[in-house]
Structure 1
Amino acid sequence: MRAIVTADPDNGLDGLKVTDIPEPAAPKGDQILVRLLGSSLNFHDLGVAMGTLNKVQDRILLADGAGIVEAVGDAVTDFTPGDEVVSCFFPDWQAGGPQIGDFSRTPGDGIDGYARDKVVTPQSWFTKAPKGWTATESSTITTAGLTAWRALVTEGNIKAGDKVLLLGTGGVSVYALQLAKGMGAKVAITSSSNDKLEQAKALGADFTVNYKEDENWGETVAQWSAGGVDVVVEVGGPGTLTQSITACRVGGKIVLIGVLTGMTGDIPTALMMLKQIRLQGIVVGNRQEQQDMVKALEQLAIKPVIDKTFALEELADAFRYELSAAHFGKIAIDYTR
């Protein structure tokens, strides 16, 4: 069966290879056999594929995976053959507070991922997918969707009428826009592209700002929100955190989910202290949160925004498209193409 591996990690995306690997053995005990039908790309996957995040030989890529259960072991209780399922980013983190501080057990990084046709895993490595979603749609839940959910719900505790600031129009931010609007919040969102801001408005964004045209966009958002937003979903890190602190209200929350602008930098800690802002770093979430999210998605009746879809054999080209930053929302991989 097909798999995409880092055959030559020193050569980046040109070192990815479509290879043939043996079919997995029949599932035993609490294991399930999943025929994978879709995936989606994340910044983390790109780092592994390029060898900049984790340079590892012959790693099967991709943390996101969705498909159909084809067979189950005799101790499986959560699934039956035919169930549509989606993978978990941290397969060992089932519930409760943070327990993991690295990616050593994340599929597609520390262990083999889902850029392959079939996989056998413990049943706890997957959850059911939302009813009526395609595999490519469901695959977006694993990383981007659950990150947005945890930022807004678990950490942000948003409620109807709250004001939320989202940075950029990548997968997490667009997911967060849809979720926040579905929960009755008012949303401001930033981008360097006016075209993408128009797309965000079409999804319900209440306020948009082009951060290249407005260097004081944090103050602009604070004025729009009459004193500051309740929650910021912060993807930039040191290059944007000062503006996010300015945009946040006294007693508000900033949930740091990315460091796209760099690993270190100057932060106005005095202003953050005076405004009594809580800064919380997160990395995706646990299986129970994913199960809760799936139930909510079925009630909210929203579906992820997929910008462009590639075949599995086109994975390197899909990553190159991700590098272009031209996408709005998610980039998907359809294994049936």
Structure 2
Amino acid sequence: MRSYRANKIGSLDDLKIIEEDLPVPGPGQVRVRVRATALNFRDLALLTGIFPAPAKADVVPLSDAAGEIEAVGSDVTRFAIGDRVVSSFFPTWFGGAFEAGAEQYSVERDGWLTEYKVVDAEALVAAPNTLSFAEAAALTCAGVTAWSALAGVRAGDIVLTQGTGGVSIFAVQLAKALGARVIATTSSAEKADRLRALGADEVIDYRADQDWGSTARAMTDRGIDRIVETGGATSLAQSIKAIAPSGQISLVGVLGGFAGSVDYKAMFFSFARFQTITTGSRRDLEELTRFVARTGLKPVIDSTFIFEEARAAIEHLGRRQVFGKIVVQH
């Protein structure tokens, strides 16, 4: 079989295809024929060495995958040969409260940018029959992160999303499916039209409106109930302006970086909750797949690349001119 491995972190030049022996599943394990993988900014950060945790030596990258069970080891009852499956982001976090140190693909374990992979059957979830492999692969990280960021949102709530990355687009789709009103921010008229087509009720151009937090709050009677905060230090001040008393700012990403100061007085008197989102557990992924199957939600795919073009796919992600998920088809 073929796998991508990066024998040196810091440059995509060291990401190469190599031939490897086909792995054999042991007790409790299955072998997955990987059909699609989806990219996240985390993958680029790991390969270039800017991720907070170091990548595994000689790593196979990527955490998000979908495929079909090709072989099963002894004592496996969770899946059978031919079942369609999705990878769970944390292979050993099945539910309950998150604990620091949970194993991650590309950090403690090789990831999914390979043709075949052996994993514990418990690290997988059944893929929704309503989705293609490419669409299902998008659920692992971005889909579950948006789902976790919106936990507790009810019909009639007001949700604010930021930008057009994978998590933000999922958040627009999921919030609308939950019955919420959605206000989205973006940087261009073209992206604004596409967000409206996905269901966003109002869109604010954050480049034209530097005080978009106040604008968003003025669109409501009391502020935003839930903000999916993906910008980090550069956007948090505006999120604090927009949030309603007892609302929640779900801290998802740091696309604008960690550097910056926080107005503690403004944060304190917002009377809001600030909740860091750590993707989600296998249980969260299972809940999401059921919701997707019931509602018919379709993940938005920005572009697809064949297996041999995986490096080009990662470079495309690095340019940050995407709308939806980038997928590698195996």
> If the length of structure 1 is used for normalisation, what is the TM-score?
0.95
Percent identity, aligned pairs only, is 38
* Matching residue's letter, 1:322: L
Compared CA separation, residues 131 and 55, structure 1 to 2 (3 A) = closer
Q: Which residue in the other structure is 1:109 paired with? A: 107
1:115 and 1:55 mapped to 2: Cα distance? 14
Structure 1 position 313 matched with structure 2 position 311:
no
2:132 and 2:231 mapped to 1: Cα distance? 30
Following superposition, the deviation at residue 193 of structure 1 comes to 1.9
* Matching residue's letter, 2:127: A
Following superposition, the deviation at residue 56 of structure 1 comes to 4.8
Following superposition, the deviation at residue 73 of structure 1 comes to 1.9
Alignment of 1:69-148 (within 5 A): 69-101=69-101, 105-148=103-146
Structure 1 position 256 matched with structure 2 position 251:
yes
> Contact 1:9/1:56 (CA < 8 Å) preserved in 2?
no
1:315 and 1:7 mapped to 2: Cα distance? 16
* Matching residue's letter, 1:264: A
Of 265-274 and 118-127, the range deviating more from structure 2? 265-274
1:191 and 1:127 mapped to 2: Cα distance? 33
Following superposition, the deviation at residue 52 of structure 1 comes to 2.3
Alignment of 1:23-42 (within 5 A): 23-25=22-24, 27-42=25-40
Q: Which residue in the other structure is 1:279 paired with? A: 274
Alignment of 1:162-241 (within 5 A): 162-241=157-236
Q: Which residue in the other structure is 2:261 paired with? A: 266
1:259 and 1:182 mapped to 2: Cα distance? 26
2:259 and 2:267 mapped to 1: Cα distance? 17
Q: Which residue in the other structure is 1:19 paired with? A: 18
Give a deviation string over 1:71-119, Cα, whole Å, max 9, x none: 21221121111110000111111110111356xx211233100000111
Q: Which residue in the other structure is 1:158 paired with? A: 153
Following superposition, the deviation at residue 230 of structure 1 comes to 0.2
* Matching residue's letter, 1:9: I
> Contact 1:93/1:100 (CA < 8 Å) preserved in 2?
no
Give a deviation string over 1:158-194, Cα, whole Å, max 9, x none: 0111000001100000011110111110001111122
When the two structures are aligned, how many residues end up with a matched partner?
328
> Contact 1:192/1:211 (CA < 8 Å) preserved in 2?
yes
Following superposition, the deviation at residue 13 of structure 1 comes to 1.4
Following superposition, the deviation at residue 7 of structure 1 comes to 2.6
> If the length of structure 2 is used for normalisation, what is the TM-score?
0.97
Following superposition, the deviation at residue 324 of structure 1 comes to 1.4
Following superposition, the deviation at residue 57 of structure 1 comes to 3.8
Compared CA separation, residues 74 and 101, structure 1 to 2 (3 A) = closer
* Matching residue's letter, 1:126: L
Structure 1 position 5 matched with structure 2 position 5:
yes
> Contact 2:6/2:16 (CA < 8 Å) preserved in 1?
yes
Give a deviation string over 1:269-300, Cα, whole Å, max 9, x none: 21221121100001101011111111111111
1:261 and 1:70 mapped to 2: Cα distance? 42
* C-alpha RMSD over aligned residues: 1.2
SS at match of 2:77: coil
Q: Which residue in the other structure is 2:63 paired with? A: 63
SS at match of 1:131: coil
